[in-house]
Amino acid sequence: MGIRSVDGGARRWKAVQVGGGVAVLAAVLFALPALRRPPPTSTALDRSDIHTEYVKFPSGRDTITAYLAYPERKDRAPAVVVIHEIFGLSDFIRQTTEQLAKDGFVAIAPDLLSRQGGTPPSNDDARKLIAGLNPDTVTKDLDATVAYVKKLKAVHPDRVGVIGFCWGGSQSFRYATNNPSLAAFVVCYGAGPEATAIARIRAKGLGVYAENDARINAGLGDVDAAVRTYHKSYQHSIYPGVGHGFFRTRERPEVADSAWRNVVGFFRESLEH
């Protein structure tokens, strides 16, 4: 269950027991363009023309604000819900939502601080507000987001995935245990839920972790054990030479771009077919 290095650390392989077998996910580090541009292996789905807007929809008696991005494609698209970091609905999250649209998905990022008046300008204020969120309310608001996006005419309602970063990565994993209608989920350097909760997951999952992130990585052994016990489809890679939040910080752009390429490939495989 360890990680082995190939070609001087240029590749990291993580073997995870899934459904009684061994699934091996190769994280190959290619020099790719920046996150704001489509990867070089672009297809007809990768377009620079997208449409973005802010939308509002109800969640109980409250109203959620979300950032929505549409791809330019003539057929219905799968949808991806983007769960923000502990900093709230930031420029990074909006850029990521736009990039997913360029990659061919309808992407929607709810502001999970909408009930508190929306994401504040200060990161410190956002962290404090998010630390006080009720987990069940977060689930309720994510349910409202999924319900909204499924009703869009541009979306395949049975092809919805979720991705989260940092705090949002933990929420993505947790939400997969609570919404059996999800087809796929991606966890970006987020903690796993309780082992028994993993038994409820029906979606395919992908984990993106950083080598220099001992706090989060300390829990991966328990995640692997639960995945094997309950025969779930969850693969993860640990990317070398980067720390927590490397998609946002881009401390090693080539690593971030390689990881993003794997995320897009996973969503295409899980949601397009």
Query: What is the tens place of the pLDDT at every residue in 205-244?
Result: 999 999 999 999 999 999 999 999 999 999 999 999 999 9
Tell me how crowded residue 25 is: count the other CB atoms within 10 A of its CB.
17
Question: C-alpha 99: how far from its chain's center?
Answer: 13
Q: Report yes or no: 183 and 204 within 8 Å, Cβ to Cβ.
A: yes
Q: Which residue has the higher pLDDT, 258 or 9?
A: 258
Helix (H) or strand (E) holding 118: none
Q: What pLDDT does 25 receive? A: 34
**Which residues are bridge partners to 28 per DSSP?**
11
**pTM of the predicted structure, to 2 decimals:** 0.83
**CA 180 to CA 158: how far, in whole Å?**
11
5 pLDDT more than 70? no
pLDDT at 273: 74
- Domains annotated for the chain, with CATH where assigned, are 13-271 (3.40.50.1820)
